Structure 1
Amino acid sequence: METLYWVFIAIAFIISFIALFYPILPGVLFLAAGFLIYGFGFNFDPFTPLFIIIQALLLISLFVIDYAGNAYAIKKKGGSKAAIWGSTLGLIIGPFVIPIPVANILIGPFLGAVLAEMVFHKKGLKASVSIGIGTVLAFVGTTLIKVITQALMIGYFYYQVL
C-alpha cells in the first residue's frame, strides 16, 4: 500500500506540472493533493507549522505570479483590463480550439489580448500586437517562475518527509 501512495503522490505532482501548460487543469490543487495524500496515507507529523506556512505562502505566490505577471506586462505595453481578460480567456480556450500542443497556450492568450484591444479599445493592429507579444512573454516568464516555485515546494516536501 505504501508504494501505491507514493505512486499517487508522484502522479499528483506530475499533473501539477502538466497544468502549467494546460491551465484548465487545477495545478495548484494537484500539488496540494500530493501533500494531503502523504498526510492521510502515512502521517502529518513532518508537516510542521513552519512547513505549512512556507508551503501556503508559496501556493499563494503561484496565484499571484500568474495574475500579476500578466497584468504587469499588459499594462507596461499600454494594454487595458480588456486585454487581461482577453488573454486569460485565450489561455483557457486556446488548448480546445488550437490543435497544436504547446503553441495553443501561446497563441490563445496572444489572440485574446490582441482582439480585446482592437474590439474594445479600438487600438490599431501594431499596438494590439505589441500588447499580445507582451502577454506571451509574460506567460513564458511566469511559467518559468512557477516551474521553479513548484520544484522548490516539492523538494522541500521530500526534504521534510524523507
Structure 2
Amino acid sequence: MDILLIVLGAIFMLVGIVGCVLPIVPGPPLSFLGLLFLHFTARTDIPEDTLWILALVTVAVSVLDYVVPVYGTKRFGGTKRGVWGSTIGLIIGLFFFPPFGIIFGPLVGAFVGEMSAGQDTNKAMKSAMGSFLGFLAGTLLKFIACFVMAYYFIIYLF
C-alpha cells in the first residue's frame, strides 16, 4: 500500500507543477494532496505543523491566483474583458503555440479583450500589460508553492 501511496503522491506532485501553467488544473492543491499521500504511508511521518503551514500556503496561493491578475488589470486601467481575454489567450496559446503561447497568449488575449471593450490602443496595451504582469505573478506564486511542496516530498521520502 505504501508504494501505491508514494506513486500517487509523486503523480499528484508532477500534475500539480504542470497545473501551475494550465488554468484548468489546480496546481497547488494537487501538490498538497501528493504530500498528504506521502504522509499517510508507514515509511514517513511529515510533522503536522508542516502540513498545516503548507495547507495555509495552498489556500492563500489559490486565492491570490484569482486576485492578482484582476488587481494587475484594474491597477493598469483594465476591464473584465481584459481579464477574460487574458485567460482565453492563455488557453489558445497553450494549445496552438507552445511553449511561447503560455507567455504571449495572455498578453495578446488581454489586448484583444480590451480593444473589444472599446479602449484605445494605448490604454488597451497598458491594461493588457497589467493583466499579463498579474498572470505572471500568480503563476510564479503557484510555482514557488508547488516546488516547496515537492522539496518536502523528496526530503521526507528519502
| Shorter-chain TM-score tier | 0.7 to 0.9
After superposing the two structures, state which structure 1 stretch, 139-148 or 59-68, moved more.
Answer: 139-148
Give the structure 2 partner of residue 113 of structure 1.
110
**Structure 2 gap segments, 5+ residues each:** none
Give the structure 1 partner of residue 145 of structure 2.
149
Deviations 1:82-119 (A, max 9, x none): 212222233234323xx221221223222221122111
TM-score by length of 2: 0.79
Q: State how 1:40-79 maps to structure 2 within 5 Å.
A: 40-42=40-42, 46-48=46-48, 50-79=49-78
TM-score by length of 1: 0.78
Deviations 1:128-157 (A, max 9, x none): 122212222222233222222222233345
Q: Is the 8 A contact 1:58 1:153 kept in 2?
A: no
User: For this pair of structures, how many residues does the alignment match?
Assistant: 158
Is 2:124 the partner of 1:128?
yes
1:133 is matched by which residue type in structure 2? M
Q: Is the 8 A contact 1:113 1:131 kept in 2?
A: yes
- The percentage of aligned residue pairs carrying the same residue is 33
Give the structure 1 partner of residue 20 of structure 2.
20
Give the structure 2 partner of residue 101 of structure 1.
98
1:15 is matched by which residue type in structure 2? V
**Structure 1 gap segments, 5+ residues each:** none
Question: Per chain length, whose mean CA-contact separation is higher, i.e. which structure has more relative contact order (CA < 8 Å, sep 6+)?
Answer: 2
Q: Is the 8 A contact 2:29 2:58 kept in 1?
A: no
SS at match of 1:78: coil
Distance 2:5 2:44 in 1: 14
Q: Is the 8 A contact 2:44 2:157 kept in 1?
A: no
Distance 1:130 1:57 in 2: 33
